[in-house]
Amino acid sequence: MTTPHIRRLENAIQPYAWGSRYALAQLQGREAPSEGPEAELWIGAHPKAPSQIVGEGQTLLELINAAPDRMLGPESRTRFGDTLPFLLKILAAQEPLSLQAHPSRAQARAGFHHEERARVPLSDPERSYKDDRHKPELICALGAFHALCGFRPIDETQELLGAWGLSALPAYERLKAKPRSRGLQSCCEALWQLEPSALGKATAKLVKAAQRCASDPKSPQQGFASDLLIVAQRYPGDVGLLFMPLLHHVVLAPGEALFLPAGCLHSYLHGVGVEIMANSDNVLRGGLTPKHIDVHQLLRTIRFEPTKLRKLVPDSMASQHDFEPDVEEFALSMAHCTGHEKHRHRPIGPEFLLVTEGDFSIEGQHEDPIRLRCGQSVFVPGLHGEYSFLGTGTIFIARLGTGQVAVSAREN
């Protein structure tokens, strides 16, 4: 049996309204600005937008379906069947994404089958579950990347609300309830239940407080206030604004990453990053969007617990950084290369290589090298065996996870 060869990919771009007209075009060396927003470059075999195999007239999904044993390999098939378990993206947010959370595996299965039995079309804009899989995800910043991620400690939230003169708002007063998790859930329920007039008054008061804070260079919340004002300009009067003080505000430096497990309420505000996730498109939205909001499902999904913000920070002394969150579906490695050393790798399952800076040559077994420029990618089949890459710049390797915490990227 011949070794399946490495394939160059052509990847679909999702034109979501929040996307940048510059980032992906500039990354790929195309003319900028693009004609319309370009939000996500999808690299994978998701049925919604599978990658095309260059020169073969078929998609990666079709290739895997025709030969899952060779394309995925025994390790991946034993754990995940005949489906590629992860999806890789480049995300380019010019405007904020929706306030959202992703379901657990059990919730995804139950929700998907419920909507299937109810014969809700997959194309229905009010459908919440597009598939029966969970969607943990990890984002690694390519530049400064601003996000909201997980609930702040209650004391920290109350201190912020007090400083901004907002602690007397009835919904926020519910944070005082015991236990703390119940107070958080009660607060969120009250925010989603606000009548339009009360919502308008509350968001107006929040924006005024943010304006004062943003103009104060001594305030430790100045950056958060500035981001809140940007979001308010795009979504005036939106209930999602009132959730922002409840959540950690984080700015990732290039190379830093965030892992978002199931049930983590979050929103990406602006920036460009490489994102890897389980191969799912399940998103439950709660604000900052014109799309369907499903409060009922969110209340069943969100983990109403304060969390410690954990950024994954690469070791500055290492040339390769491995982000291995506690999930089985995926892991992500980032290698900074100087062109002096050939990197060899033997995969245990299917992999993607994605160049985000510079030029690389990918060498497989008994095949011509493939040259990759910035923004280009290849698929390495699970049964391919050892390959190598050589180049100058930055390359990402998307691969199967181990379910163990990273050893070459520290938490901060």
Q: Which of 133, 152, 174, 285 is catalytic?
A: 285
Whether residues 96 and 227 share a domain: the answer is: no
In a domain, 172, yes or no: yes
In a domain, 57, yes or no: yes
Q: What is the pLDDT along the chain (412 residues), one digit of tens a residue?
A: 567 899 999 999 999 999 999 999 999 999 999 999 999 999 999 999 999 999 999 999 999 999 999 999 999 999 999 999 999 999 999 999 999 999 999 999 999 999 999 999 998 999 999 999 999 999 999 999 999 999 999 999 999 999 999 999 999 999 988 777 899 999 999 999 999 999 999 999 999 999 999 999 999 999 999 999 999 999 999 999 999 999 999 999 999 999 999 999 999 999 999 999 999 989 999 999 999 999 999 999 999 999 888 899 887 767 899 999 999 999 999 999 998 889 998 999 999 999 999 999 999 878 899 999 999 999 999 999 899 999 999 999 999 998 544 434 444 5
Whether residues 95 and 15 share a domain: the answer is: yes
pTM of the model: 0.93
In a domain, 313, yes or no: no
Distance CA(23)–CA(90), nearest Å, equals: 10
Distance CA(387)–CA(7), nearest Å, equals: 13
In a domain, 404, yes or no: no
Whether residues 236 and 264 share a domain: the answer is: no
Whether residues 30 and 104 share a domain: the answer is: yes
**How many domains, in total, are found in the chain?**
3
In a domain, 374, yes or no: yes
Burial group, residue 1, by CB count within 10 angstroms (0-12, 13-18, 19+): exposed
Whether residues 53 and 127 share a domain: the answer is: yes
In a domain, 11, yes or no: yes
Whether residues 181 and 134 share a domain: the answer is: no
Q: Where are the alpha helices (DSSP H) in 175-268?
A: 180-192, 196-214, 222-234, 240-243
Residue reference for tokens 């394939």: 7
Whether residues 206 and 64 share a domain: the answer is: no
Whether residues 270 and 193 share a domain: the answer is: no
Q: Where residue 380 sits, what CATH number does that domain have? A: 2.60.120.10
Domain span at 67: 7-145+254-300
Whether residues 334 and 369 share a domain: the answer is: yes
Q: Say how far residue 392 (Cα) sits from the centre of its chain.
A: 26
In a domain, 265, yes or no: yes
Whether residues 40 and 135 share a domain: the answer is: yes
Q: Reply yes or no on whether 109 is catalytic.
A: no
